[in-house]
Amino acid sequence: MTYERFDVVVVPFPFTDSSSSKRRPAVVISHGTAFNAPAGHSVMAMITSAGNATWPLDRAIQDLSAAGLRAPAGFQGLDLLGQAPRAALSFSETDHEGNIAQAVQSLEWKLVQANAGNPRGLPEQALFQLAQDPGETQDRSAAEAARVAELSGQIQDSLAYAQARAVAAAQTGLDAATLQQLRNLGY
């Protein structure tokens, strides 16, 4: 059976020592037609309500009821079901070794903007239609100028939102041993 991205399934997860396993829910994160069907496998992430320390890539499920899950007792917030649906947007930004890139992604589209003359040779902007092009290989920015303008506005709105809430950096003193540890790690 081929699963689609974001399907919730129940699979056996092995214990750390591989002595046995337990059936647990997982979310499929690989693309159904681009990966799962040709490979005959799916990439999944475990779903847990355990009160353990978070893992580096943990993400909260935004719509528990749509996933068939109950909200844990400690959750706060409002149930947004029944309200007008909003496009889910995510914003990211990176500034590394002369490569400055910003991106905004909706459920269907992703716009990436990079600095001119960046060392990686990225185009200054690229627009991808994710469902038809999950590998992000076909730049649609020339054919979708209005969408580029809309998503570019979302990038500017995200930056303005972050800048309005930014706090001044604080300088802290580090002892010689801590500085050496950081240098050893490449910082």
State the residue for tokens 């496998």: 41
pLDDT of residue 35: 84
d(CA 4, CA 1): 10
Q: What domains appear along the chain, each with residue ranges and CATH number? A: 8-46 (no CATH), 90-165 (3.30.1120.10)
pLDDT of residue 19: 81
d(CA 101, CA 63): 29
pLDDT of residue 111: 95
Cα distances (Å, whole numbers) of residue 88 to 17, 62, 109, 152, 175:
39, 10, 11, 15, 44
Q: What is the pLDDT along the chain (187 residues), one digit of tens a residue?
A: 778 888 888 988 877 777 888 888 888 888 888 888 888 888 888 887 666 656 666 666 666 666 666 666 665 555 555 444 445 778 888 888 888 999 999 888 999 999 999 898 889 999 999 889 888 999 999 999 999 999 999 999 888 888 888 887 777 788 888 888 888 888 7
Which amino acid is present at 60?
A
Burial readout 150-159 (b: 16 or more C-beta within 10 A, e: otherwise): ebbebbeebe
DSSP alpha helix (H) spans, 33-101: 37-39
